[in-house]
C-alpha cells in the first residue's frame, strides 16, 4: 500500500512530463492543467503520508530494486520518507502546484508552453527524488536531475544566446559542485561500505571515529559534500550562476531558483548532520562561508536595478544565513528558514513576475514606479512578503531569521554581527525595490503605462495563498515553543534542540534585529520616497558603487582565471601537442623512408660490387664458423 | 544455439549480401544482422540456461591451434553490443544512396563477424587472425566510401592502417612468445602459465602497444581524429562504437590476466596516462570546430576513463569499464548519427556554420539532447552507471585519480553544452532543416530506450558480466 | 694404383692446388671486368671444386665423388652455353660486355 503510494507520488510528475513531452503539442492549451494536476496529486499524497508519519513517528522506507552493484555493497533505488523529507516534499509539491497554477496565466501566450510544463513537471519529479532518496546516490539522481531541469528552463527561450549562456553556466557551475558531491560520496562509501543514510547514521553512532585516517577521511567527505552544497545552493565561490539564472521565465526563478532547488544544499547538510557534528572544523567553515555569502550577496543586492536580480541576490544572501545556521549546528533553525523563505521568496518572485507580466516584459526598477495603483493585489502580497523577508514582526521571516541569529549569537559574536548586518541590508534593498516599483510616478514609456494591467486570477490566487503563508508561517516556530524543532528532533543529529529559554538577552537580540530592519527600511524610505532618488544610469556609476554594481567583477575574475586559461590550454594542446605527437608518429614513417633512400645507394647496380660484398660476407661467415 | 552458428549466420550473410546485388544488398544486410541479433539472443538464453555455448574444433595439430570459442558473460555482453549495433548502423544508412552497395554491406557484415570472432576467441592465433581481419573491411570502407578528397583520404587511411597494424605486430610477438612457453595457443593454458616477472613486462608491453593504439590511449591517438573525420558516418560508428572496444575488452581478457605482475607493477603509470587522456581529450575537444573531430576527441576522453578503470585491477574498476564500454558504444553511435543527420541536411560539418536547428526540428533536438546528457553521464542514463563505478574504483587506488578523472564531469558538461548551444540553439537558421523521418526516429528511439532502460535497471547486465569479471580479477590477484 | 698417386704426391698438395685455383677464380671474378673472363673464372672455380671432389673420392676409395664430377661437368657445360648466349644478347643490346657499365639493377 505504502509502496504503491510512494510510487504514485514520485511517478506522477514524471508521467506528466512524458505526456506533455510526447503528446503536449496536440493538447497545448491543456498542458498547464495536466501538469498542475500531476503535481497536485503528489501534493495530496504527500499530505497523506505526512500525516501518517507525523502520527506513527516511524519513517516509511521503500526499496524498489537493486540499482548499482559494487564489490563491497549494493546500492538500491531506495526511498526514505521521514520527517525531514516529508517536510520538504510538502512545500516542494505545495508551492510547486501553486507555481504551476501561476504559470498557466504567466505562460499563456507562449507557443512552447507544453515544453515548459513538461520541464517543470520533470523538475518537481527530480526534486522529490532528491529529498526522498534513501541513500546518497538516489539523492544524487535528483541532485543532477534538478540541475538538468534548471539548465533546460533557464535556457527555455533558446533563441536568445545570452539565456543559453546563462543556462550553460548554471549547468557547469552545478557540475563543479556535483564532482564534490561524488568525491564525498566515494569517500564515505570507501570508509563505511554503504551509502544508505540509515546505515551511515548507525555506523556513526557505533564506530569509534578517533583514528586519524578515518577522521581525515570524514573531514574530506564533509568538505566535498559541502562543495556540492555550495554549487547547488549558490554559495561562495560558486554562486555566480544564480543571478544569471534569472534569464529563465519568472515562475522558474520562483520555483527552482528561490523556493526549492537551491535549498538542496541545506537539505544535504541537514541530512548529513550526523557527519558534520563530528567534524567541527568543517562546521566552522560552513558557518564562515554562509556568513560571508550572506554579507557579500547583500552588498551586491544594494545596487542592482533589475528586479529579478535584486531578488536573486537576496536569495543568495538568505541561503548564506541558512548555512550560517547549519554551521553553528542549528539545523532546525535552518530548516525553519528554508520553509519560511520558500513562502515569501516564491511570493516575491511571483509578484515580480506579475509586475513584469503587467508591464509587458520590463524588469528594470528604474523604469517602474506607481504600479500599486493598477496592480493592487500584486502590491499587497509583495508588500507582505517584503515585510516577511525584512524580518518585521509578526511575519514569518522574523521568527526564522531571529532563530538563526539567536543560535549564532550563542556560538560566535562576530558571525552574528555579520549576519545581522546582512539582514539590515536585506531590509534596505528589499524596500528600495518595493518603493521604486510600486510607489511614486510611473517612469516607463506611455505604451507600457497603457498596457499595465492586473494579472489574471490564476496568477493572483497563488500570490494570495503565498502571502497568507508568509504571514502565518512563523507560527511553525515561535520562540519558546518551536513546533518545527520538536517535529524534526527524531531525524536531526545530537540532542533535540532545546527551545530557547526566553530571557532578557533573547528579547534584546530580537529587539536589536527588529530595530535594525526598521532602520534599513527607514533609510530606504528616506532615499526613495522622501527624496525621490532614482538609481543612476549604468554609465554614470563611479567609485565603490560601480564596483558593487558590477558585482565585484567576480564573473570577470573567473573568466580570466579559469575559462580563459582552459581555452588557452585547449589551443596549446590542439596546435602544439597534437602537431608534435602527429609529427613523431609520421616521423617514424619518414625515418623508415629516409633509411630506405640511404640503403638504396648501396644497390649501385654493379655486379662487381655485389660480388665483392658476397665474397666478403662468405669469408666472414666461414671465419666465424671455422676459425673463431 | 552455439557461437559457431552465430558466426555462420554472419558468414552466410556476407556471401548472400554480396550475391544479392546492389538493390537488395541493404535489405539482405539488415535481414542477416537482425538474424544475428536474434541468434545471439538465443545464445544468451542458452548461456543463462547453463548450456555450454562455446566450441573447440581442432584445426592445426602442429603448431597446436584450434578454432576455440569460449563464451562467458563478458564475451557475451560484447557480442550483444556488436549484434545490437550492427542492425542499428545498417539502419542509419537506410535512405542513403550508396555506390556499389553490395560490397559495402557485405564488408559491414564481415566486420561484425571479425569483431565477434575477436570477442569470443580463446585461442591466441585465432584471436590474432580475427583481430587483424577486422581491420581489412574498415580500411576499404573508409578508402572507398569516405569523405573528402581521395588523395588525402588515402593518406589518412593508410596511416591508420599501418599504425594499428604495426601495433598489432608487437602483440603478435607476445603471442608467439607465449606459444613458445606454453606449447599451445590456448588462452586457458596461458592463464596458468606462471611467467617470471621480467618476461611479463615484455609480454605486457607487446599487448599494450596494440591496445593503446587501437583504443586509443594518449599519446597513441594521432590517427583517431582525422580517420573519424574522413570515414563515412557508418564507418565512424563501427570504429568508435565497436572496434575500439576490442582493445578495451582485450585488456581485460588478455593483457591483465596473462601478465598480472606487470599490470600490478605499471598500475599507477597506466592509470595516470589514462586519466591524463581524459583531461587532455576533454580540453582539446573544446577547440574542435568539426563536429566529427569534436566527437572523436570527446570519445578519447571517455575511453581514457574506461582504460583507467580497467587498469585499477579491481572488481569495481573492471565492471565499471565493461558497463561504460557498452554505454559508450550505444551513445557514441547515436551522437555520430546525429552529426551525420546535420551533415546531410546542412552540407557542412563545421560547428561555426550551424545553429538555430532546434527552432526547425523539435524531435531531433530532443533526441540529441538526451544523447548529449547521456554522454555527460547524467544519472538514470546507462553511462552514469559505468562512470560512477569507474570513478569509485579510481578512488580505491588513489584519491587524486578520482578527482582528476572526475574532472570529466565538469569538462564534459562544458564542451557538450557548448557544442549543443552552438549547433542547436539560437535564432532559427535561414536554411530549412527537416525534422526526423520515421526511420531516423526508429534509430534514435532504439538507442535512447536502451540507454535509459539500462540506466534505470542495469542489474541484468551486471549479473551477466559479474562472474566472468570476478574470475578474471581472481586470476589477476592470485 | 690410386694409392700410389696419393703416395707420390700427398693429399695436402692437391688441397693447396685447389685452394689456389679457387682463389684465382675468385680474384678473376672480382677484379676482371670482361664478362668472358668472368665466365672463365667461374669455370676455374668450378674445376677447382671438381678436382677436390676427385681427390677426396680417391682418398676415401668411394666412386660417388667421381660420379658427381661427371654430373657437374655436364651441368657446367650447359651453364656455359646458356651464359654465353645471354652474353651475346647483352652484347647485342648494350654494345659492351664490360659489366661495370651495366647498371640496370641500380636501386
Q: What is the C-alpha separation between B69 and B123, in angstroms, rounded?
A: 7
Domain ranges for chain A:
279-536, 575-627
Decide if B382 contacts B323 (C-beta within 8 A): yes
What are the sequence ranges of the domains in chain B? Answer: 261-478
Residue A453 grid coordinates? 494591467
Dihedrals phi, psi of C99, to nearest 5 degrees:
-80, -5
- In which domain, by residue range, is C32 found? 2-94
- Residue B366: which residues within 8 A CB-CB, separation 6 or more? A21
* Candidate from A66, A68, A577 with C-beta closest to B389: A68
Task: Mutate one of A10, A21, A68, A161 to test the B interface: name it (highest B CB count within 10 A).
Answer: A68
Can you read off the three cell numbers belonging to residue B23?
538493390
H helix or E strand, kind and range, residue B201: helix B197-214
Which ipTM value was assigned to this complex?
Answer: 0.90
Chain B interface includes A582 (CB < 8 A): yes
Own/partner long-range contacts of A72-75 (Cβ < 8 Å, ≥24 apart): A72/A189, A72/A193, A73/A189, A73/A193, A73/A194, A73/A195, A75/A135, A75/A137, A75/A195
pLDDT at B248: 93
Q: Is A568 on the interface with B (CB under 8 A)?
A: no
Binned at pLDDT 50, 70 and 90, residue B154 comes out as: very high
Q: What angle, rounded to 10 degrees, do the helices at A197-206 and A161-192 form? A: 40
Residue A497 has pLDDT above 60, yes or no: no
**Contact (Cβ atoms closer than 8 angstroms) between residue B430 and residue B357:** no
User: Is-contact B248 B240, C-beta < 8 A?
Assistant: no
Question: Quick one: closest CA in B to A70, which residue?
Answer: B316
Residue C103 domain-assigned (yes or no)? no
Residue A77 to residue A135: CA distance in whole angstroms: 8
CATH number of residue C33's parent domain: 1.10.287.3510
Closest residue of C to A597, CA-based?
C107
Q: State the smallest CA–CA distance between residue A572 and chain C in angstroms.
A: 43
Which residue of chain A comes nearest to B389, CA vs CA?
Answer: A70
pLDDT in tens, B190-236: 988 888 888 999 999 999 999 999 988 888 888 998 899 999 999 99
Mean pLDDT of C66-89: 91
Task: Give the total number of structural domains in chain C.
Answer: 1
Q: How confident is the model at residue A404 (pLDDT cuts 50, 70, 90)?
A: confident
Q: Is the dihedral of CA A492, A493, A496, A502 positive or negative?
A: negative
Q: How far apart are CA A96 and CA A259, in angstroms?
A: 9
> Which pLDDT value is given to residue A540?
63
Size of interface A-C (CB pairs under 8 A): 31
- Torsion over CA: C98, C102, C105, C107 (sign): positive
Q: Identify which of A525, A509, A554 has the alpha carbon closest to the alpha carbon of residue A391.
A: A509
Distance in angstroms (rounded) separating the CA atoms of residues A210 and B310: 35
Burial class (CB in 10 A: 0-12, 13-18, 19+), A284: middle
Interchain CB distance below 8 Å, C105 and A612: no
Distance from C-alpha of B97 to C-alpha of A582, rounded to nearest angstrom? 34
Of B162, B284, B427, the CB nearest to A573: B284
CA distance A161 to chain B (A): 6
Distance between A175 CA and the closest CA of chain B, angstroms: 5
Tell if the CB–CB gap between C106 and A605 is shorter than 8 Å.
yes
* Shortest CA distance from B455: residue in chain A: A67
The SS3 assignment for A131 reads helix
What pLDDT is attached to residue A478? 76
Chain A contact for B409 (CB, 8 A cutoff): yes
Averaged pLDDT, B125-153: 92
Peptide bond into A506 cis (omega under 30): no
What is each CA distance from B105 to A200, B109, B124, B191, in whole angstroms? 56, 6, 29, 38
Q: Most A CBs within 10 Å: which of B212, B417, B448, B472, as the mutation test of the A interface?
A: B417
Q: Mapping DSSP to helix (H, G, I), strand (E, B) and coil, where does residue A504 land?
A: helix
Greatest mean pLDDT range, A374-378, B128-132, B358-362: B128-132
How large is the average pLDDT for residues A431-447? 81
Written in H, E and C, the secondary structure of A16-32 is: HHHHHHHCCCCCHHHHH
Place of cell 576527441: B297
- Residue B315: list chain A partners with CB under 8 A: 71
Q: Does B180 touch chain A (CB under 8 A)?
A: no
Count contacts between A and B (CB, < 8 Å): 132
Residues in chain C: 107
**Cα B165 from Cα B184, distance rounded (Å):** 24
Cis amide prior to B63 (ω within 30 degrees): yes
Q: Compare CB distances from A604 to C29, C99, C103 and report the shortest one's residue.
A: C103
Worst-scoring range by mean pLDDT, A160-164, A312-316, A602-606, B250-254? Answer: A602-606
- Give Rg (Cα) of chain A: 31
How far apart are alpha carbons A24 and A577 in whole angstroms? 49
Of B257, B362, B356, B245, residue with least CA distance to B299: B245
Among A609, B435, A200, CA closest to C30:
A609
Give contacts of B399 with chain A, Cβ < 8 Å. Answer: 183, 187, 220
What's the Cα-to-Cα distance from A11 to each of A45, A125, B384, rounded to whole Å?
12, 7, 21
Per-position b or e across B261-293, b if 16+ CB within 10 A of its CB: bbbeebeeebbbbbbbbbbbbbbbbbbbebbbb
Give me the mean pLDDT over the A475-497 stretch. Answer: 74
Distance CA A349, CA A259 (A): 10
Nearest to A146 by CA among A44, A252, A251, A66: A252
For the residues A541-553, what does the mean pLDDT come to?
Answer: 71
Interface check C24 vs A, CB under 8 A: no
Q: Are B322 and B267 in contact (CB under 8 A)?
A: no
Q: Do the Cβ atoms of B312 and B267 come closer than 8 Å?
A: yes
| Interface membership of C7 toward A (CB under 8 Å) | no
Judge whether A17 and A43 are in contact, CB under 8 Å. Answer: no
Nearest to A86 by CA among A2, A195, A15: A2
pLDDT at A554 over 70: yes
Per-residue confidence (pLDDT) for residue B194, from 0 to 100: 83
Q: Given this model, what pLDDT does residue A510 score?
A: 82
For residue B56, give the 3-state DSSP assignment: strand
Distance CA B272, CA B251 (A): 16
φ and ψ at residue B65, rounded to 5 degrees: -130, 135
**Which residues are within 8 A (CB) of A392 and not within 5 positions of it... i.e. 6 or more apart?**
A398, A514, A517, A518, A521
Q: Which of A115, A71, A79 is nearest to A2 (CA)?
A: A79
Return the DSSP state at A530. I
Nearest to A463 by CA among A99, A79, A44: A99
Residues of chain B contacting residue A220, judged by C-beta atoms under 8 Å apart: 399
How far does the CA of residue B476 sit from the closest CA of chain A (Å)? 16
On the 0-12 / 13-18 / 19+ scale of CB atoms within 10 A, B394 is buried
Measured CA to CA in angstroms, residue B218 lies from A566, B237, B272 at distances of 19, 21, 11
What pLDDT band is residue A307 in, cutting at 50, 70 and 90? confident
| Per-residue pLDDT, A378 | 86
Nearest to B410 among A68, A179, A187 (CB): A179
Is the distance from CB of B405 to CB of B278 less than 8 angstroms? yes
Those residues whose C-beta lies under 8 Å from the C-beta of residue A515, and which sit 6 or more positions away, are none
DSSP A48-99: HHHHHHHHH---EEEEEEEEEE-SS-EEEEEEEE-HHHHHHHHHHHHHHHHH
C and B touch with 3+ CB pairs <8 Å, answer no
Give the number of other Cβ atoms within 10 Å of residue A307's Cβ: 26
Confidence class of residue A144 from pLDDT cuts 50, 70 and 90?
very high
Contact A323, A285 (CB under 8 A): no
> Average of pLDDT values for A519-548?
73
Q: Which residues of C touch A601 (CB under 8 A)?
A: 107
Option in A141, A155, A585 nearest B425 (CB): A155
Q: CB neighbours of B13 closer than 8 A, spacing ≥ 6? A: B28, B29, B31, B32, B33, B35, B36, B106, B109
Whether the CA torsion A466, A472, A477, A482 is positive or negative: it is: negative
> How far apart, in whole angstroms, are the C-alpha atoms of residue A261 and residue A191?
29
Residues of A in contact with C23 (CB under 8 A): none
- Confirm or reject contact between A111 and chain B (CB < 8 A): no
Q: Which residue has the higher pLDDT, A185 or A483?
A: A185
* Secondary structure element (H or E) that encloses residue B55, with its range: strand B55-60
CB atoms within 10 A of CB C15: 14
**Mutate which of C30, C35, C38 to disrupt the A interface (most A C-beta within 10 Å)?**
C30
Query: Phi-psi bin for A75: left (phi > 0), alpha (psi -120 to 50), beta?
Result: beta
- Residue B415 touches partner A, C-beta closer than 8 Å: no
% residues pLDDT > 90 (chain B): 65
CB B254 within 8 A of CB B122: no
Question: Which of the other chains make 3 or more beta carbon contacts under 8 angstroms with chain B?
Answer: A
**Are C99 and A600 a contacting pair at CB < 8 A?**
no
Question: Per the confidence metrics, is the pTM higher than 0.80?
Answer: yes
Look at A66 and B418 and tell me if their CB atoms are within 8 Å.
Answer: no
Per residue in B453-464, pLDDT (tens digit) is 999 999 999 999
Task: Mark which residues 425-454 of B lie under 8 Å from A by CB.
Answer: 425-428
The 10s digit of each residue's pLDDT in B89-112 is 999 998 888 888 899 999 999 999
C-alpha to C-alpha distance for B466 and C10, rounded to whole angstroms: 84
Amino acid at each position: 500500500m505504502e509502496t504503491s503510494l510512494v510510487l504514485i507520488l514520485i511517478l506522477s510528475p514524471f508521467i506528466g512530463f512524458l505526456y506533455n513531452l510526447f503528446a503536449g503539442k496536440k493538447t497545448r492549451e491543456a498542458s498547464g492543467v495536466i501538469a498542475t494536476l500531476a503535481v497536485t496529486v503528489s501534493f495530496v499524497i504527500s499530505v497523506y503520508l505526512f500525516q501518517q508519519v507525523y502520527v506513527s513517528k516511524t519513517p516509511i522506507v521503500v526499496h524498489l530494486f537493486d540499482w548499482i552493484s559494487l564489490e563491497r555493497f549494493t546500492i538500491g533505488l531506495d526511498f526514505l520518507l521521514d520527517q525531514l523529507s516529508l517536510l520538504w516534499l510538502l512545500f516542494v509539491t505545495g508551492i510547486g502546484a501553486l507555481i504551476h497554477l501561476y504559470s498557466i496565466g504567466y505562460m499563456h501566450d507562449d507557443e512552447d508552453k507544453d515544453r515548459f510544463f513538461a520541464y517543470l513537471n520533470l523538475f518537481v519529479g527530480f526534486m522529490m527524488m532528491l529529498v526522498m532518496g534513501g541513500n546518497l546516490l538516489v539523492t544524487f539522481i535528483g541532485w543532477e536531475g534538478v540541475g538538468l531541469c534548471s539548465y533546460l528552463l533557464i535556457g527555455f527561450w533558446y533563441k536568445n544566446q545570452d539565456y543559453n549562456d546563462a543556462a550553460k553556466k548554471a549547468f557547469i557551475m552545478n557540475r563543479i559542485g556535483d564532482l564534490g558531491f561524488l568525491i564525498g560520496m566515494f569517500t564515505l562509501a570507501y570508509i563505511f561500505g554503504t551509502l544508505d543514510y540509515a546505515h551511515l547514521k548507525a555506523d556513526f553512532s557505533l564506530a569509534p571515529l578517533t583514528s586519524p585516517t578515518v577522521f581525515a577521511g570524514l573531514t574530506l567527505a564533509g568538505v566535498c559534500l559541502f562543495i556540492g552544497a555550495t554549487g547547488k545552493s549558490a554559495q561562495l565561490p560558486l554562486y555566480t550562476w544564480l543571478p544569471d539564472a534569472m534569464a529563465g521565465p519568472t515562475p522558474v526563478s520562483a520555483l527552482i531558483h528561490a523556493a526549492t532547488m537551491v535549498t538542496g544544499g541545506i537539505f544535504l547538510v541537514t541530512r548529513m548532520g550526523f557527519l558534520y557534528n563530528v567534524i567541527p572544523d568543517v562546521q566552522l567553515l560552513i558557518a564562515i562561508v554562509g556568513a560571508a555569502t550572506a554579507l557579500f550577496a547583500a552588498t551586491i543586492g544594494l545596487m542592482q536595478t533589475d528586479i529579478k536580480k535584486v531578488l536573486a541576490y537576496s536569495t543568495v544572501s538568505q541561503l548564506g544565513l541558512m548555512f550560517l545556521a547549519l554551521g553553528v549546528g542549528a539545523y532546525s533553525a535552518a530548516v525553519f528558514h528554508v520553509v519560511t523563505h520558500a513562502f515569501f521568496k516564491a511570493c516575491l518572485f511571483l509578484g515580480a513576475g506579475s509586475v513584469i507580466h503587467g508591464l509587458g516584459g520590463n524588469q528594470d526598477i528604474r523604469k517602474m514606479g506607481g504600479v500599486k495603483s493598477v496592480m493592487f493585489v500584486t502590491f499587497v502580497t509583495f508588500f507582505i512578503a517584503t515585510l516577511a523577508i525584512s524580518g518585521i514582526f509578526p511575519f514569518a521571516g522574523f521568527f526564522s531569521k531571529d532563530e538563526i541569529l539567536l543560535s549564532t549569537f550563542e556560538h560566535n559574536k562576530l558571525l552574528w554581527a555579520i549576519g545581522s548586518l546582512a539582514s539590515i541590508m536585506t531590509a534596505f534593498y528589499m524596500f528600495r525595490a518595493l518603493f521604486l516599483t510600486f510607489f511614486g510616478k510611473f517612469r516607463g514609456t506611455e505604451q507600457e503605462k497603457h498596457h499595465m494591467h492586473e494579472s489574471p486570477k490564476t496568477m493572483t490566487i497563488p500570490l494570495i495563498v503565498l502571502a497568507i503563508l508568509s504571514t502565518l508561517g512563523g507560527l511553525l516556530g515561535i520562540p519558546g515553543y518551536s513546533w518545527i524543532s520538536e517535529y524534526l528532533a527524531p531525524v536531526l543529529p545530537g540532542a533535540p534542540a532545546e527551545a530557547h529559554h526566553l530571557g532578557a538577552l533573547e528579547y534584546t537580540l530580537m529587539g536589536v534585529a527588529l530595530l535594525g530592519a526598521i532602520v534599513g527600511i527607514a533609510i530606504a524610505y528616506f532615499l526613495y520616497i522622501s527624496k525621490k532618488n532614482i538609481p543612476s544610469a549604468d554609465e554614470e556609476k563611479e567609485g565603490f558603487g560601480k564596483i558593487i554594481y558590477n558585482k565585484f567583477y567576480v564573473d570577470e575574475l573567473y573568466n580570466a582565471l579559469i575559462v580563459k586559461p582552459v581555452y588557452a590550454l585547449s589551443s596549446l594542446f590542439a596546435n602544439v601537442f597534437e602537431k608534435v605527437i602527429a609529427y613523431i608518429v609520421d616521423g617514424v614513417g619518414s625515418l623508415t623512408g629516409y633509411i630506405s633512400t640511404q640503403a638504396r645507394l648501396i644497390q649501385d647496380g654493379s655486379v662487381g660490387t655485389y660480388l665483392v660484398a658476397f665474397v666478403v660476407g662468405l669469408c666472414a661467415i666461414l671465419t666465424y664458423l671455422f676459425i673463431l | 544455439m552455439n557461437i559457431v552458428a552465430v558466426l555462420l549466420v554472419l558468414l552466410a550473410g556476407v556471401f548472400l549480401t554480396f550475391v544479392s546485388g546492389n538493390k537488395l544488398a541493404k535489405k539482405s544486410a539488415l535481414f542477416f544482422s537482425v538474424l544475428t541479433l536474434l541468434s545471439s539472443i538465443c545464445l544468451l538464453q542458452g548461456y543463462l540456461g547453463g548450456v555450454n555455448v562455446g566450441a573447440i574444433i581442432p584445426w592445426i595439430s602442429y603448431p597446436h591451434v584450434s578454432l576455440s570459442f569460449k563464451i562467458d558473460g563478458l564475451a557475451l555482453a560484447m557480442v550483444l553490443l556488436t549484434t545490437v549495433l550492427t542492425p542499428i548502423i545498417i539502419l542509419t544508412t537506410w535512405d542513403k544512396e550508396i555506390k556499389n552497395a553490395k560490397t559495402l554491406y557485405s564488408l559491414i557484415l564481415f566486420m561484425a563477424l571479425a569483431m565477434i570472432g575477436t570477442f569470443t576467441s580463446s585461442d591466441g592465433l585465432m584471436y590474432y587472425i580475427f583481430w587483424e581481419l577486422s581491420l581489412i573491411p574498415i580500411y576499404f570502407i573508409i578508402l572507398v566510401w569516405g569523405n573528402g578528397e581521395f588523395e588525402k583520404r588515402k593518406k589518412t587511411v593508410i596511416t591508420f592502417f599501418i599504425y594499428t597494424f604495426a601495433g598489432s605486430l608487437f602483440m603478435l610477438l607476445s603471442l608467439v612468445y607465449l606459444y613458445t612457453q606454453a606449447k599451445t595457443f590456448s588462452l586457458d593454458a596461458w592463464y596458468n602459465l606462471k611467467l617470471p616477472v621480467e618476461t611479463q613486462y615484455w609480454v605486457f608491453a607487446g599487448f599494450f602497444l596494440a591496445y593503446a593504439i587501437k583504443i586509443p590511449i594518449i599519446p597513441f591517438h594521432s590517427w583517431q581524429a582525422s580517420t573519424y573525420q574522413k570515414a563515412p558516418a557508418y564507418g565512424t560508428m563501427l570504429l568508435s562504437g565497436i572496434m575500439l572496444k576490442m582493445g578495451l575488452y582485450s585488456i581485460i581478457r588478455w593483457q591483465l590476466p596473462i601478465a598480472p605482475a606487470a599490470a600490478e607493477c605499471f598500475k599507477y603509470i597506466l592509470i595516470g596516462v589514462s586519466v591524463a587522456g581524459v583531461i587532455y581529450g576533454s580540453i582539446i575537444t573544446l577547440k574542435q570546430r568539426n563536429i566529427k573531430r569534436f566527437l572523436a576527441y570527446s570519445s578519447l576522453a571517455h575511453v581514457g576513463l574506461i582504460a583507467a578503470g580497467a587498469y585499477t585491477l579491481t572488481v569495481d574498476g573492471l565492471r565499471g569499464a565493461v558497463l561504460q564500454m557498452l554505454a559508450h558504444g550505444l551513445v557514441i553511435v547515436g551522437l555520430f548519427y546525429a552529426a551525420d543527420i546535420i551533415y546531410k541536411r546542412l552540407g557542412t560539418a563545421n560547428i561555426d556554420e550551424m545553429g538555430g536547428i532546434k527552432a526547425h526540428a523539435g524531435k531531433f533536438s530532443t533526441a540529441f539532447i538526451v544523447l548529449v546528457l547521456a554522454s555527460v553521464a547524467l544519472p538514470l542514463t546507462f553511462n552514469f552507471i559505468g562512470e560512477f563505478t569507474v570513478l569509485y574504483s579510481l578512488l580505491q587506488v588513489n584519491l587524486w585519480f578520482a578527482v582528476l578523472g572526475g574532472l570529466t564531469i565538469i569538462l564534459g558538461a562544458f564542451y557538450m553544452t557548448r557544442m549543443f548551444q552552438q549547433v542547436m540553439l539560437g535564432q532559427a537558421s535561414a536554411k530549412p532543416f527537416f525534422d526526423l523521418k520515421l526511420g531516423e526516429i526508429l534509430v534514435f528511439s532504439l538507442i535512447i530506450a536502451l540507454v535509459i532502460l539500462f540506466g534505470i535497471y542495469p542489474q541484468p547486465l551486471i549479473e551477466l558480466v559479474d562472474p566472468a569479471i570476478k574470475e578474471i580479477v581472481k586470476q589477476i590477484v592470485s | 694404383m690410386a694409392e700410389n698417386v696419393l703416395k707420390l704426391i700427398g693429399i695436402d698438395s692437391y688441397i693447396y692446388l685447389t685452394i689456389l685455383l679457387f682463389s684465382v677464380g675468385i680474384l678473376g671474378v672480382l677484379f676482371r671486368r670482361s664478362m668472358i673472363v668472368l665466365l672463365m673464372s667461374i669455370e676455374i672455380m668450378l674445376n677447382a671444386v671438381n678436382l677436390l671432389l676427385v681427390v677426396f673420392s680417391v682418398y676415401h676409395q668411394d666412386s660417388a665423388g667421381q660420379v658427381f664430377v661427371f654430373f657437374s661437368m655436364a651441368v657446367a657445360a650447359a651453364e656455359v652455353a646458356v651464359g654465353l648466349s645471354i652474353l651475346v644478347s647483352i652484347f647485342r643490346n648494350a654494345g659492351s660486355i664490360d659489366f661495370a657499365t651495366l647498371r640496370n639493377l641500380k636501386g
